[in-house]
Every structure is written in structure tokens, then in C-alpha cells.
């Protein structure tokens, strides 16, 4: 990872509302947020610049490629950054699959879970310190 550049986050979600909400919530962080509409687009970005991303935030249920499928293929690249997943409903098989891939967090996709993203980003920044200064505030 290039530690002289800002923390890079890749967000994959087919919902424009979620992409906008995540962008707004993370606006106060010294991070570059790249948003894509599905798992295939995320995987394409990771193939080209995977080592630049410290965190991937993905929806589980997307057209063309699920978050789990994207995470499996990303780890095979190998992408070594953190992965956080949003889902309205995660099956036990999916939960086990995510765990085997070292997924950082599985978050219930509802109106409040998205507000835990600053804590996840802060954790990634702290693990990468001193490359990424953590802002004093953590609330959106």
C-alpha cells in the first residue's frame, strides 16, 4: 500500500442511496472513497489497483456478483486489505464464507448500522498508523 497517499476505500453497492450515504458519513475522514455499482466493478478495480485500497465496503446482495463472490475472488488476487459487508440477511453459509476470508465486519443493512462505518475506518487507519492520521471526531 502506498502510505504517502490518503487512505483509499472502495465501496460497492447497487443502491445509489447507500453510495451517497456512505460518502456523506465518511466525508470527514482523510480518505479517498471510490464507489462502484456491483461486485464485478469492485473486482475490476482491485485487479488494477488492489494494493492501493486499505478497505473494501461491499453490499452482499448485488446484481452480477455478490459481495461474497467478490470477496472470494479478491482474496485470490490476493487483496490483503480489510473487507466490511452490508447485508439485509446473511445466511449461515455466507457468514462462514466471510469468516474464512477474514472479513472485518458483517453489518445489518439498516438505518443505523451504516453509522458504525466511522469506527471501522478509524480502526483501519490506526492499524496503518502513522500513514493515516485519525481525525479527532468519529461521529458523522
Cα gap 94→65, rounded to integer Å: 14
Per-block mean pLDDT, blocks of 10 residues, the chain (140 long): 71 95 89 95 93 93 94 94 91 93 87 82 78 48
Residue 41 falls within a domain, yes or no? yes
Residue 46 falls within a domain, yes or no? yes
Residue 64 falls within a domain, yes or no? yes
CA distances for 72 relative to 55, 82, 103, 123, angstroms: 15, 13, 10, 23
Cα gap 87→48, rounded to integer Å: 26
Residue 73 falls within a domain, yes or no? yes
Residue 18 falls within a domain, yes or no? yes
Note the pLDDT of residue 92: 92
Residue 16 falls within a domain, yes or no? yes
Residue 67 falls within a domain, yes or no? yes
Note the pLDDT of residue 60: 94
Note the pLDDT of residue 57: 95
Note the pLDDT of residue 112: 79
CATH number of the domain that residue 56 is part of: 3.40.50.2300
Amino acid at each position: 500500500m502506498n502510505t504517502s497517499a490518503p487512505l483509499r476505500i472502495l465501496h460497492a453497492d447497487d443502491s445509489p442511496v447507500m453510495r451517497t450515504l456512505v460518502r456523506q458519513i465518511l466525508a470527514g475522514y482523510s480518505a479517498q472513497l471510490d464507489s462502484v455499482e456491483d461486485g464485478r466493478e469492485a473486482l475490476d478495480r482491485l485487479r488494477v489497483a488492489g494494493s492501493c485500497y486499505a478497505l473494501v465496503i461491499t453490499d452482499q446482495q448485488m446484481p452480477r456478483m455478490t459481495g461474497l463472490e467478490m470477496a472470494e475472488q479478491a482474496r485470490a488476487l490476493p487483496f490483503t486489505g480489510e473487507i466490511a459487508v452490508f447485508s439485509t440477511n446473511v445466511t449461515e453459509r455466507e457468514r462462514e464464507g466471510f469468516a474464512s476470508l477474514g472479513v472485518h465486519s458483517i453489518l445489518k443493512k439498516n438505518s443505523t448500522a451504516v453509522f458504525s462505518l466511522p469506527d471501522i475506518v478509524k480502526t483501519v487507519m490506526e492499524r496503518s498508523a502513522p500513514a493515516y492520521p485519525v481525525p479527532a471526531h468519529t461521529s458523522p
